[in-house]
Structure 1
């Protein structure tokens, strides 16, 4: 399916995504407006189409980034963001069904972070105590994401604060990120443990992820990624069909009791989630 949301400026691109109902919530729109795609796309940055960024990778089309953020939004917003969206709903705007433990700092994993664009957008939504980790299997792409983010004052502040971190690893295995040190107080820390956590019911929660975005097509729905979801948590992941050609977005939800629900969504075309080139 083709989309026609291209613009001549970042503002026009985002406005067209909004008019096409590809962005439907005010906070999502605000986050996209704060991140100039020209810092992340090598050419024609405001076209609603994917673009190569080297090393066999691409930056996805803006409408796919919008779909990913809208899908994950209930698991991205901190408590104050939830209140802003409720206020927007009272004024007639669309509001997501926000879930999660109120007050718990958000942790988000962006697998296949590539240019770093979506990593930055996600960071604009998780709040001052949230953490977004961009994971790449190619060191040069990890470095590219960091360089692109450092082009803007806002991006440099996110990197310096530790709220955004780029790492190298095999995205099929997820990622375990240590807590920040004393130089980054309060960033990504945990709220007071619940009674269930004190009993040891959720001993993996501190290192898990409220939301996982995968920006490349997996050969299968990897169990390790599902395991690393917090309860509750959500994953947005393209997965290859059994025919080896078709791909579909899968939405994976884990509820507060740890029960997992998987929903097959739209057909897509992504580069594969695979080994780093030799």
Structure 2
């Protein structure tokens, strides 16, 4: 049903995603309505398909952003700390911030400085986004998404981690170590046959880890910055 969800405006896109059952949670719908994709996608912002950003990066299709938000939602409460690896355009970083304010923080991680700046500039295109940047609810850093970034406030770990690029099988273990207990990781993983699937990985209160293999996907890989 995703291909039927495109719209002529941000509101139409989100309403169509909800009508097609791709958004089911009111909090997710409200957060996505609050962030205009036109500030983040260089063309066709309201089409339900991935869009190129340059630097070998893409902004994911809206239905994939909705899937990630709905999966992580139990951990996206006011005050939560969230890591958004492969933040790209900054779109999902901003939507995540809508779900953890007040008191929360979302940090977008990119391996190319130009993408770090792109995210920061895009969030600043709206008054609401500028406020989130000024209050420190949203931030962007350059780093290697394969190893992640330590949660800086108290070192207790991240409540939720979203990864917007595919990890090699087994590589997700480094990111699990950055989660709080309880906490959740949403990550595409490339397996031995080169197929990719979303894995939803939970660290429960006693520190043990559970893994759920979810939908098949196709993401760009987590990798080194391009040399060209």
TM interval, short-chain normalised: over 0.9
Whose radius of gyration is greater, 1 or 2?
1
**Higher strand fraction: Structure 1 or Structure 2?**
2
Of 239, 262, 273, the residue aligned with 2:189 is 239
CA distance in 2, matches of 1:223, 1:268: 20
2:125 partner SS: coil
Using the size of structure 2 for normalisation, the TM-score is 0.96
CA distance in 1, matches of 2:120, 2:151: 17
Residue 2 of structure 1: how far off its partner (Å): 5.2
Q: Which residue of 2 aligns with 1:131?
A: 105
Size of the aligned set, in residue pairs, is 226
CA distance in 1, matches of 2:110, 2:197: 21
Of 229, 252, 255, the residue aligned with 2:179 is 229
CA distance in 2, matches of 1:41, 1:149: 12
RMSD: 1.2
Give a deviation string over 1:221-242, Cα, whole Å, max 9, x none.
Answer: 4222001110000010000011
2:146 partner SS: helix
CA distance in 2, matches of 1:224, 1:271: 19
Gaps of 5+ in 1: 79-104, 180-189, 191-203
Matched, 1:210 2:159: yes
Gaps of 5+ in 2: none
Of 99, 104, 116, the residue aligned with 2:90 is 116
Tell me if structure 2 keeps the 8 A contact 1:3–1:63: no
CA distance in 2, matches of 1:2, 1:27: 20
